[in-house]
């Protein structure tokens, strides 16, 4: 795995020379520490619009994964309340790591 970082140390790309497990990331122009877009595979970002959603205090509340999405819910203190992984065929709450068909 090779990694490419920007001047702030943010991960811009992670390339896998042996397969198609590449990942690319972009950040918002107004806040270079705020993740904007994630893309997977050899096609890079696959677009320009943001596909990562933040709440009003900057926590990532939704982001794409290689298959499906991750949704995070937070307590007012900022601690993570729950993490939900989902795809078109299943959802998995973080509290029980068992795969549950939907």
pLDDT in tens, the chain (102 residues): 788 988 888 889 988 877 778 899 999 998 989 999 999 988 788 889 999 999 999 999 999 998 889 999 999 998 999 999 887 555 555 543 333 444
CA 32 to chain centre: 16
- How buried is residue 26: exposed, middle or buried, by Cβ count under 10 Å (0-12/13-18/19+)? buried
Residues contacting residue 89 through CB under 8 Å, at least 6 positions apart: 101, 102
The rounded radius of gyration (Å) of the Cα atoms in the chain is 15
Instruction: Please say whether the beta carbons of 22 and 30 come within 8 A.
Output: no
In this prediction the pTM is 0.74
Task: Measure the CA–CA gap between 23 and 11, rounded to whole angstroms.
Answer: 10
What dihedral do alpha carbons 44, 49, 64, 4 form, nearest 10°?
A: 40
> Hey, where are the domains in the chain?
1-51, 55-102
Chain centroid offset of residue 39 CA: 9
| pLDDT at residue 56, rounded to an integer | 92
pLDDT of the residue at 91:
53
- According to DSSP, the residues that pair with 36 across neighbouring strands are none
């Amino acid at each position: 795995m090779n990694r490419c970082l920007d001047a702030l140390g943010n991960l811009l790309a992670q390339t896998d020379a042996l397969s198609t497990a590449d990942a690319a990331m972009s950040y918002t122009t107004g806040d270079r520490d705020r993740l904007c877009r994630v893309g997977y595979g050899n096609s890079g970002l696959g677009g320009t619009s943001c596909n990562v959603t933040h709440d009003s205090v900057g926590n990532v509340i939704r982001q794409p994964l290689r298959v499906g999405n991750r949704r995070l819910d937070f307590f007012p203190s900022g601690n993570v309340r729950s993490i939900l992984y989902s795809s078109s065929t299943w959802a998995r709450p973080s509290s029980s790591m068992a795969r549950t068909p939907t």
